[in-house]
Amino acid sequence: MESAVLDFESDYFTLFKLQEGVYSAIAKNHTITGANAGFFDLGDYVIVFDTMSAPKATQDLIKGAKFCCKKEIRLVINSHFHGDHIYGNHAISPSIPIIGTHDTVKMINEHTFENLANYQKNARKEIKKLDNQLKTESNPAVLFEINSDLDFLLTISEHGFNLRLPDLIFQKELTIHGSKRSVQIIDVGAAHSISDTIAYLPNDNICFMGDLLFENVDPSWVDKKSVMPFAVNPKNHLKVLKKYSDLNIKYAIPGHGKLSPSPIVFKSNIEFLRLKYPDAFS
Ligand SMILES: [Zn+2]
Ligand SMILES: [Zn+2]
């Protein structure tokens, strides 16, 4: 990969410059803060794709965007309703609109708030448990995970923490033409979740794919029902992956895992879906 690692310090992610003005934030771990995000400079302002799950990670993301682009963020995209991609909405200034689909808003209302309430209900007990683990743990990687989880639980336990919903609702596709580049914000329909949104930068040949793509898809995960990645609509998911795979995208940023060459990541995800959902393709 030709992408360059940027000299920006965050405990939560590593910043990669994919192209002048286009950056991905690749999560450093696979715990609760472990979803990837990114941002790009349209010319006069910046658009952020997904907000990660710990608002502190989101604050770093905002700092990272300012560090790289030296411009204000004017819009945030939510790829789908899963908490690991949108809890960080809480850290986005109310003056910056968050764009999402009608179905994403519906699913946040029907599911994500409930999940958050469950986390909040059990937070005190979990914090105690993690605090005890901290006293005996010495492995730095595990310590990092415990601290990330603690950070998340403490944040969502704070008085006034709430989940911010997308407030700019689009249908099917929205193109924004900036002075430097254009972005197509596309609702691909039900695939990984009930409604998945991607951000395609056609002139750069770059696409932020959210959870339509995972970097690591081990075939041994196929039988494990609760293990990610999964698809609520495998047929459409496969169709979307094939479509974008055929576009020879230079960088397809996965929702989870490292940046890797896009032909490999498309191929492995397509094969994984075929294995996991054979009935959908018969
Ligand atoms: Zn995810
Ligand atoms: Zn997801």
45 compared with 31, residue with greater pLDDT: 45
Pick the range with the lowest mean pLDDT from 18-27, 111-120, 139-148, 168-177: 139-148
Residues 176 and 147 in one domain: no
Clarify whether residues 34 and 98 are in a common domain.
yes
pLDDT confidence bin for 169, thresholds 50/70/90: very high
pLDDT of residue 133: 94
Choice among 55-59, 68-72, 140-144 with the minimum mean pLDDT: 140-144
| Mean predicted lDDT score pLDDT of the chain | 91
- Is 182 in the same domain as 202? yes
Do 232 and 142 fall within a single domain? no
Distance 128 CA to ligand 1 centre (A): 26
Domain-located, residue 208:
yes
Q: Quick one: 116 and 75 in the same domain?
A: no
**pLDDT interval class at 131 (50, 70, 90):** very high
Between the CA of 80 and the centroid of ligand 1 the distance, in Å, is 9
Same domain, 201 and 243: yes
Q: Are residues 135 and 215 in the same domain?
A: no
Task: Tell me, in angstroms, the distance from the centre of ligand 1 to residue 179's CA.
Answer: 31
Q: Residue 226 falls within a domain, yes or no? A: yes
pLDDT of residue 33: 57
Taking the centre of ligand 2 as the mean of its atom positions, its distance from the CA of residue 21, in whole angstroms, is 26
Give me the domain span that covers residue 153: 106-157
Q: In Å, how far from its chain's centre is CA 50?
A: 5
Mean pLDDT, residues 189-198 taken together: 97
Same domain, 35 and 119: no
Do the domain assignments include residue 282?
no
- Percent of the chain at pLDDT exceeding 90: 70
Percent of the chain with pLDDT over 70: 96
Q: Look at the chain and report how many structural domains it folds into.
A: 2
Do 95 and 182 fall into the same domain?
A: yes
Pick the ligand that lies closest to the CA of residue 53: 1
Residue 23 maps to a domain: yes
pLDDT at 1 over 70: no
Residues with CB under 5 A from ligand 2 (ion): 82, 211
Say if residue 20 is in the same domain as residue 99: yes
Q: Which ligand is nearest to the CA of 112?
A: 2
Q: Clarify whether residues 180 and 239 are in a common domain.
A: yes
**Residue 32 clears pLDDT 60, i.e. is over it:** no
pLDDT in tens, 233-256: 999 999 999 999 999 899 999 999
Whether 282 shows a pLDDT value over 80: the answer reads: no
pLDDT band at 273 (very low <50, low <70, confident <90, very high): very high
Is 110 part of any domain? yes
At residue 97, the pLDDT reads: 98
Q: Which of 122, 139, 157 is the last residue of a domain?
A: 157
**257: domain CATH number?**
3.60.15.10
> How many angstroms does the Cα of residue 89 sit away from the middle of ligand 1?
15
Report which of 136, 141, 62 is spatially closest to residue 96, judged by C-alpha positions: 62
- The Å distance, Cα 79 to ligand 2 centre, comes to 9
**Do 99 and 195 lie in a common domain?**
yes
